[in-house]
Amino acid sequence: MSTFQTFAMVDWSGGNDTGPTPRKDAIWACIVRNSKALEPEYLRNRLVAKQWLDTLIRAELKAGRRLFLGFDFPFGYPSGFARAITGTDDPLALWDWFDRHVEDSPQTNNRFDLAGRVNLQFGGRGPFWMNGLRRDIVGLPRTKTGYSNPFPDRRVVETLAKGSFTCWQMAGAGAVGGQVMMGLPVLNRLRHRFAGQVAVWPFEPLEKPIAIVEIWPSLTLGKPPAGRIKDAWQVEQVALTLSRLTEQELDAQLNVSAAEEGWILGVPQNKPNIAPPPLRNDCFALPAGVEWTPVDEALAYLRDKLHPITSAETVSLTKASERILAEDVIAQRSNPPQPNTAVDGFGFAGPVPDGPQVMPLGDGRAAAGIPFEADVPKGRALRVLTGAALPDGVDTVILEEDVTVEDGHIAFHGPLKKGANTRRAGEDVVAGDMALPAGRRLTPADLALLSAVGIAEVNVRKPLRVAVVSTGDELVEAGESAAPGQIFDANRPMLLSLAHRMGFEPVDMGRVADNREALRDRLDQAAKQADVILTSGGASAGDEDHVSALLRQAGAMQHWRIALKPGRPLALGLWSGVPVFGLPGNPVAAMVCTLIFARPALGLMAGEGWAEPQGFEVPAAFEKRKKPGRREYLRARMRDGRAEVFHSEGSGRISGLCWAEGLVEIEDGERHIKPGDVVRFLPFGSFGL
Ligand code: AMP
Ligand code: MG
How many domains is the chain built from? Answer: 4
Clarify whether residues 470 and 567 are in a common domain.
yes
Question: In this structure, what DSSP letter does residue 109 have?
Answer: B
Reduce the DSSP state of residue 457 to 3 states and report it.
strand
Whether 288 is covered by a domain: the verdict is no
Q: Provide mean pLDDT across the span 371-393.
A: 95
In sequence order, the β-bridge partners of residue 470 are: 511, 536
Ligand 1 contacts CB of residue 475 (under 6 A): yes
Q: Are residues 542 and 488 in the same domain?
A: yes
Domain shared by 561 and 639, yes or no: no
Q: What is the DSSP letter of 429?
A: B
d(CA 321, CA 576): 31
Distance of CA 122 to the CA centre of its chain: 35
Are 317 and 456 members of one domain? yes
Identify the domain boundary among 577, 606, 635. 606
Nearest CA to ligand 1 atom 10: 586
In percent, how much of the chain has pLDDT > 70? 96
- Degrees, nearest 5: CA angle 326-328-331: 135
Give CA 530 to chain center in angstroms: 23
Ligand 1 atom closest to 589 (CA)? 8
| 436/493 same-domain check | no
Query: Which residue from 473, 487, 489, 547 has its CB within 8 A of the most atoms of ligand 1, so it is best to mutate?
Result: 487
Least confident piece of the model among 236-245, 339-348, 489-498 = 236-245
Predicted pLDDT of residue 286: 63
Distance between Cα 635 and ligand 2 center (Å): 24
In this structure, what is the dihedral angle of CA atoms 429, 434, 437, 442, given to the nearest 10 degrees? 40
pLDDT at 556 (0 to 100): 67
DSSP string of 376-442, one letter each residue:
--TT-EEEE-TTPBPPTT--EEEEGGG-EEETTEEEEEEEE-TTTTEE-TTSSB-TTSEEE-TTPBP
pLDDT band of 539, cuts 50, 70, 90: confident
Q: Which of 681, 665, 672, 571 is nearest to 618 (CA)?
A: 681
488 and 597 part of one domain: yes
Cα–Cα distances (Å) from 306 to 160, 245, 369, 443, 686, in that order, read: 32, 33, 49, 25, 21
Regarding the beta carbon of 585 and ligand 1, being less than 6 Å apart is answered: yes
Tell me whether residue 569 is in a domain. yes
Write the single-letter amino acid at 659: W
Q: Is 586 in the pocket of ligand 1 (CB under 6 A)?
A: yes
Domain presence at residue 199: no
pLDDT reading at 391 higher than 50: yes
Q: Residue 541 — φ and ψ, nearest 5°?
A: -105, 15
Distance separating alpha carbons of residues 428 and 423, to the nearest angstrom: 9
Is 507 in the same domain as 551?
yes
Tens-place pLDDT, residues 23-73: 887 899 999 998 899 999 999 988 899 999 999 999 999 999 999 999 999
DSSP line for 165-193: PPTTB-SSTT--HHHHHHHHHHHHHHHHH
| Judgement on whether residues 322 and 456 belong to the same structural domain of the protein | yes
pLDDT score of 273: 47
Domain-embedded: residue 376: yes
**CB 203 within 8 Å of CB 89:** no
Pocket of ligand 1 contains residue 651 by CB under 6 Å = no
Distance in angstroms between the alpha carbons of the first and the last residue of the chain: 32
Using the atom order of ligand 1, give the atom closest to the CA of residue 542: 4
Rounded CA-CA distance 388/431 in Å is 20
Q: Is there a contact between 9 and 49 (Cβ–Cβ < 8 Å)?
A: no
The residues, any chain, with a CB within 8 Å of residue 174's CB and separated by 6 or more, are 165
Of all residues in the chain, what percent are helix, strand and coil, respectively (each to 5)?
25, 25, 45
Alpha carbons 113 and 583: distance in angstroms, whole number: 73
Is residue 489's pLDDT more than 70? yes
DSSP H helical ranges for 245-320: 247-254, 295-305
Q: What is the pLDDT of residues 95-115, one digit of tens each?
A: 999 999 999 887 788 999 999
Listed in sequence order, the residues at least 6 apart from 171 whose beta carbon sits closer than 8 Å to its beta carbon are 112, 130, 131, 132, 177, 178
Which segments of 497-556 are extended strands (E)? 505-512, 532-536
Q: If residue 57 lies in a helix (H) or strand (E), which one and from where to where?
A: helix 46-63
Instruction: Note the pLDDT tens digit of each residue in 579-588.
Output: 999 999 999 9
Q: Which ligand is nearest to the CA of 492?
A: 1
Q: What is the pLDDT of residues 610-666, one digit of tens each?
A: 999 999 999 999 999 998 888 999 999 999 999 999 999 888 899 999 999 999 999
pLDDT at 623: 97
The DSSP 8-state label assigned to residue 404 in this structure reads E
476 and 602 inside one domain = yes
Q: What is the pLDDT of residue 468?
A: 98
Q: 267 or 62: which carries more pLDDT confidence?
A: 62
Answer whether residue 433 is part of any domain.
yes
Locate the ligand 1 atom nearest the alpha carbon of residue 514 and give its number: 3
Q: Is the CB of 569 under 6 A from ligand 1?
A: no
Whether residue 213 is contained in a domain is answered as no
**pLDDT surpassing 70 at residue 288:** no
Single-letter code of the amino acid located at 299: L
The mean of the pLDDT values for the chain is 91
Does residue 587's CB lie within 6 angstroms of at least one atom of ligand 1? yes
CA of 385: how far to CAs of 191, 372, 380, 401, 565, in Å? Answer: 34, 11, 16, 13, 61
In tens, the pLDDT along 349-368 reads 999 999 999 999 999 999 99
295-305 and 599-606 helices cross at what angle (nearest 10)?
10
Q: Is residue 504 part of a domain?
A: yes
Measured from the Cβ of residue 665, the count of other Cβ atoms closer than 10 Å reads 19
CATH of the domain at 373: 2.170.190.11
pLDDT, tens digit, 9 for 90 and up, residues 180-212: 999 999 999 999 999 999 999 999 988 899 999
In this structure, which residue's CA is closest to atom 17 in ligand 1?
A: 585
pLDDT, tens only, 419-468: 999 999 999 998 888 999 999 999 999 999 999 999 999 999 999 999 99
> Cα–Cα distance between 513 and 251 in angstroms, integer?
41
Please, what is the Cα angle at 613 between 610 and 614, to 5 degrees?
125
pLDDT of residue 163: 67
> Does 564 share its domain with 660?
no
Domain that holds residue 554: 465-606
Best probe residue, ligand 1, of 491, 514, 546 (max atoms within 8 Å of C-beta): 491
Least confident of 13-22, 301-310, 669-678: 13-22
Output the domain CATH number for residue 628: 2.40.340.10
Report the alpha-carbon distance of residue 441 to residue 428 in Å, rounded.
20
Q: Which of 423, 444, 477 is the last residue of a domain?
A: 423
* 417 assigned to some structural domain: yes
389 and 321 both lie in a single domain: no
Give the whole-angstrom CA distance, residue 42 versus residue 61. 23
Is 528 in the same domain as 602? Answer: yes
Ion ligand 2, residue ranges at CB < 5 A = 472, 537-538, 585
Instruction: Band the pLDDT of 290: cuts 50, 70, 90.
Output: low
The reply to whether the predicted model has a pTM over 0.75 is: no
Q: Look at ligand 1, atom 6, and give the residue with the nearest C-alpha.
A: 585
- Residue 287 is predicted with a pLDDT of 59
Q: What CATH code is carried by the domain that includes residue 509?
A: 3.40.980.10
* pLDDT surpasses 90 at 596: yes
State the pLDDT confidence band at 2, using cuts at 50, 70 and 90. Answer: low
